[in-house]
Structure 1
């Protein structure tokens, strides 16, 4: 099938996925991304064989992953997560990485680089996947949302930095220097963004918000492209550039166009969640090596093992180091949501397979566990919080007006 035909099929699956979500909602709440990936597997080469990835589709998929990380970076409000909360989040991730390296080394028979791949995958948090779910249910407001943003941001940024340092194909010292250069350029951009400037930016944003010029949306795309290009020039992972672009964009829009920032974000989210992000998830399903998973009993057995390890390695330190003002139900929910992973696991395992550090069967096991984490952990976390906050639950509504679970 040509690239155009594959793209048509992918967009059809992206449209079908939310229909299935609402059709199954009365019986079970399945996250949208699970249907997107499952439909990709269905039309992919290991089942129906209708769709195959190629250079064009892979490029669009990479843009979808970059947009997902960009939107996750934009959601981070550093004024709300600094201080003790951020320190606890950093300590929890460092503990997770140390524990993950030890467990992964034992699973890989002492293979250091295979252990690095597995450990960074086990310590990741899919903030870009978790936030839309919780925001749709109205759970990102208040103290719990701020704490989740802190732990999720560290769980997303930490593995990206670890990949840049350890899995770039260069010596760690050289990677550290390039990472420092990227950090310095990003810090300079942030400093520039916070400087007092004429108000033309905000005025032009407001004037073009509803016409064909769309200045602010074009500017957002420029920032994203520039940060991706900077990461590429320095030989760093593009995900780092995408996340930094989201952080930088939030600072500028909230400062220079506060009255228009939400509407600008809505337009960018429409582009991301309406096309690029679902394309990434469907392509993830198309490229998922189902034969390697089903053809190896050990690989299939490792799926629940890796899921348990994700909760133990990532979730347990989060639970133990969560702020003390959170109740027990909220701490457990925080641990489960922080253990929800997928996009970074896909990216990390792809790097590991491409560099010959892990086999496709182990990568399929990790991705399978990550898909289960997205399916199960937010569901359990939501029900725990609903039981712990019955009044809050009663006040939440689904988009169709019905009561949220």
Structure 2
């Protein structure tokens, strides 16, 4: 490690961030991720110059991103979001993708790969930011929470698949064939995950849950490593493997050890949100090109433009295709929540910069706009919904999809 002090500073920022979030909550609720990225910018090269990334830090940051996407995949209960709502969510995302790439082609002057990066980033939803808000308000299991879960799930899964198809550097046909092969193997894994586990599996999970064995946690990490490795073998982005691992883990734990699944997840979340995920966000701040953003008036002006595009490209189709049983205010709130983005915007723009198809100034502008979306849009959505009781679940979601 070239800069051993950087890890100390990163963890100090990770500890300070929730303290600042807790203090700010007395006046306004600011998402924790904003403080983590802001502190990373503060200690990074463009402000104080205390922290610098290196190969070890970048590897840990990549693991943090994988863990974040893994936990997002685990959060999604496909059985709860099936039916007409899921069909509408998929339709809205496809419209968003077409609109995003189309508008990006206009903005970039026809630069195809740069347009793929920008257009795909415009379609994402920060489900990991939105779901805790709805859970805290007691609305996650109500009608609005179910609809938001469906639209958010597609907003997480769709961009990950699009990245694998459009940003792999291969011809679309070749990428589609590899993605289909990955999907087939994942489908076999899902079938395996749905099969009853032998009795010894659940017994071993419970027996080692509070011992040094930690069989369940090790098994979850093995699933994650296998799916990351499988995605890498097929030349696909590891985000796809991380997401698939989260879905598989949910199926295995809920089927084999339902009584212990919540506690096992708590241990994995402690590893993720206690170390790897905040490290990813702080490193995102350290690597944020603040100088490129502030020194270029055009890039700075792109921040509100991209924020508007998030609302138009992602929020517009969501509001238009939201289930008809939702009222006007709920449909608008749904579009605001769905337009909230950040993790995948960071990941996708990082890929674009690494592949030298996206400049650091535009990447910084997109990330800056995504940070504003996390800060502003959930607050507007909650204010719009007020304290209204969640609506009952619609019968249409009991249909088979």
TM band (smaller chain): over 0.9
* 1:52 correspondence with 2:52: yes
Match of 1:123 in 2: 123
Match of 1:221 in 2: 221
Q: How many angstroms does 1:137 deviate by?
A: 4.0
Match of 1:286 in 2: 286
Distance 1:132 1:2, change over 3 A: farther
Match of 1:65 in 2: 65
**Aligned equivalents of 1:140, 1:106: Cα separation in 2:** 38
| TM-score normalised by length of structure 2 | 0.95
For residues 7-57 of structure 1, give each alpha carbon's deviation from its aligned partner in whole angstroms, at most 9, with x where no partner exists: 111010000001001111112111100000000000000000000111111
Note if contact 2:228-2:242 (Cα within 8 Å) is conserved in structure 1.
Answer: yes
Note if contact 1:117-1:352 (Cα within 8 Å) is conserved in structure 2.
Answer: yes
Note if contact 1:104-1:119 (Cα within 8 Å) is conserved in structure 2.
Answer: yes
Match of 2:139 in 1: 139
Match of 2:320 in 1: 320
Match of 1:36 in 2: 36
Note if contact 2:139-2:390 (Cα within 8 Å) is conserved in structure 1.
Answer: no
**Aligned equivalents of 1:289, 1:228: Cα separation in 2:** 29
Match of 2:193 in 1: 193
Match of 1:85 in 2: 85
**Aligned equivalents of 2:5, 2:134: Cα separation in 1:** 34
**Aligned equivalents of 1:44, 1:285: Cα separation in 2:** 7
For residues 223-271 of structure 1, give each alpha carbon's deviation from its aligned partner in whole angstroms, at most 9, with x where no partner exists: 0111001111111001000000000000010011011101111111111
> What secondary structure does 1:81 align onto?
coil
**Aligned equivalents of 1:391, 1:345: Cα separation in 2:** 31
Note if contact 1:329-1:388 (Cα within 8 Å) is conserved in structure 2.
Answer: no
For residues 269-320 of structure 1, give each alpha carbon's deviation from its aligned partner in whole angstroms, at most 9, with x where no partner exists: 1111111111111011000000000010000000001000101100011011
Q: How many angstroms does 1:156 deviate by?
A: 1.1
Q: How many angstroms does 1:184 deviate by?
A: 0.7
Please, which runs of 5 or more residues in structure 2 have no aligned partner? 393-401
Q: How many angstroms does 1:141 deviate by?
A: 2.2
The CA RMSD over aligned residues, in Å, is: 1.6
Q: How many angstroms does 1:3 deviate by?
A: 3.8
Please, which runs of 5 or more residues in structure 1 have no aligned partner? 393-405
Note if contact 2:294-2:300 (Cα within 8 Å) is conserved in structure 1.
Answer: yes
**Aligned equivalents of 2:8, 2:334: Cα separation in 1:** 38
Q: How many angstroms does 1:389 deviate by?
A: 4.1
**Aligned equivalents of 1:139, 1:271: Cα separation in 2:** 27
Match runs of 1:337-352 below 5 Å: 337-352=337-352
**Aligned equivalents of 1:138, 1:71: Cα separation in 2:** 20
Match of 2:182 in 1: 182
**Aligned equivalents of 1:355, 1:237: Cα separation in 2:** 13
**Aligned equivalents of 2:161, 2:220: Cα separation in 1:** 23
Match of 1:272 in 2: 272
**Aligned equivalents of 1:197, 1:238: Cα separation in 2:** 27
Q: How many angstroms does 1:391 deviate by?
A: 11
Match of 2:399 in 1: none
| TM-score normalised by length of structure 1 | 0.94
Match of 2:397 in 1: none
Match of 1:24 in 2: 24
Match runs of 1:190-269 below 5 Å: 190-269=190-269
Match runs of 1:147-158 below 5 Å: 147-158=147-158
* 1:172 correspondence with 2:172: yes
Match of 1:399 in 2: none
**Aligned equivalents of 1:264, 1:328: Cα separation in 2:** 40
Q: How many angstroms does 1:196 deviate by?
A: 2.9
For residues 45-104 of structure 1, give each alpha carbon's deviation from its aligned partner in whole angstroms, at most 9, with x where no partner exists: 000000011111111111111111111111111111111111000000011111111211
Note if contact 1:220-1:249 (Cα within 8 Å) is conserved in structure 2.
Answer: yes
